[in-house]
Amino acid sequence: MESVIDKHRGQTWALIPLLQDIQEAVGYIPPESIEPVAEALNLFPSQVQGVATFYAGFSLKPKGKYVIRVCRGTACHVKGGRSILRLMKKELGLDEGETSPDYRFTLETIACLGACFLAPTMMVNRTYYGKLSPPKVNTILAQYGKEKEKD
């Protein structure tokens, strides 16, 4: 992480790109990185913390290998998105904003994924999935190593 910080040293304007680089490298913004970032950019730690907590794209907690974002937009809601979210919670054993103990999955919701024509939709990392149904959700989860539990 030190090399990532050094790349932006002294560039006060580069706070957001630096935080993005850290998150890309480590998967989240570790709390212990706040002070070194502030020092490198000649900022107060509270300024760095403020930016890191203001933007939804930054996470101060580790996330799973697979971050699943379920759309809560109007089109997805009308087309059954709420039942897809309930199914995801059940299958993953996670609530919104939670990460599995093995750090395999993180479940999040998002206001809109911008793929309304595919409603209901979700994203796994950077891959979009649309026109979701319960069987399709189970197939997608199986691709990422989540086996359907036998009742």
Collect all residues with Cβ–Cβ distance below 8 Å to 146 and sequence separation of at least 6.
91, 92, 104, 105
Q: What whole-number percentage of the chain has pLDDT above 90?
A: 87
Q: Is the pLDDT of residue 34 over 80?
A: yes
Instruction: Please say whether the beta carbons of 108 and 97 come within 8 A.
Output: yes
Q: How many residues comprise the chain?
A: 151
Long-range Cβ pairs for the range 25-28 (8 Å, 24+): 25/1, 26/1, 27/62, 27/63, 28/59, 28/60, 28/61, 28/62, 28/63
What confidence score (pLDDT) does residue 151 get? 45
* pLDDT one-digit tens code per residue, 74-117: 999 999 999 999 999 999 999 999 999 999 999 999 999 999 99
- In this prediction, residue 148 has a pLDDT band, given cuts at 50, 70 and 90, of low
What CATH superfamily classification does 66-143 receive? Glutaredoxin (3.40.30.10)
Q: What is the pTM of this model?
A: 0.79
Q: How far apart are CA 44 and CA 130, in angstroms?
A: 43
CA atoms within 13 Å, Cβ hemisphere of 90: 13
Listed by start position, the domains of the chain span: 2-54, 66-143
- In this prediction, residue 145 has a pLDDT band, given cuts at 50, 70 and 90, of confident
Q: What whole-number percentage of the chain has pLDDT above 70?
A: 97
| pLDDT average, residue stretch 24-31 | 92
Instruction: Please say whether the beta carbons of 96 and 107 come within 8 A.
Output: yes
